[in-house]
Amino acid sequence: VECSARVNKNDDRTRGGGAIAAKNVNSLMVSNCTFSACDTLTTGGAVFAKIMDGTSMTVNNSIFRNDSCKGQGGGIGVYQVTENAKTTAQLTVNGCKFENCSSGTQNGSGGAIQSYLPCMSLQNSEFADCWAGKEGGGINNFFGANYTEQWNGSFMTISGCEFTRCRAEDRFQVD
């Protein structure tokens, strides 16, 4: 997908992706795109993807600016179709910029990126002024306890990335 999306909004509380919603896909490649002021009430302010087990989502040389959601993943929210699958799905982000992306409710996580995949690789990307209401102001990679027992091959690699003024507020926590 090569694109430019501005001021897109998804008000459907059951669906994600202010600009792109890709569900049950074998792979998704997003290259040289700009997402600006995209918004959703759920997951993936700009892009929501639910990818098949054993496949991948790749985002190259794209800009995410002022994208937001009320749930998880202000810029990108990605899931694997089957949680208990024996194969792994992977998110790769390379050469991207995330500026002022947010997931802003009490359970908001992954200001720029929320991933529920066992494998994630981030390379040469910039994260500036991204925030989350709860955790992972820049990135939140949630990989459940069940996965750890199933795969020894899960990984998260971050290389050549810059994080500036990203924050997770957790201001809604009740003691």
Burial letters for 109-122: b for 16+ Cβ neighbours within 10 Å, e otherwise? bbbbbbbbbbbbbb
User: At residue 83, what is the residue type?
Assistant: E
Q: List pLDDT tens digits, range 81-91.
A: 765 555 678 89
| C-alpha span between 107 and 173 (Å, rounded) | 9
- Name the pTM for this structure: 0.85
Beta carbons of 30 and 47 less than 8 angstroms apart? yes
92 vs 1, 15, 44, 147, CA distance in Å? 15, 23, 16, 19
Beta carbons of 138 and 161 less than 8 angstroms apart? no
Q: List pLDDT tens digits, range 112-167.
A: 999 988 889 999 999 999 999 998 999 998 765 444 455 556 778 899 999 999 99
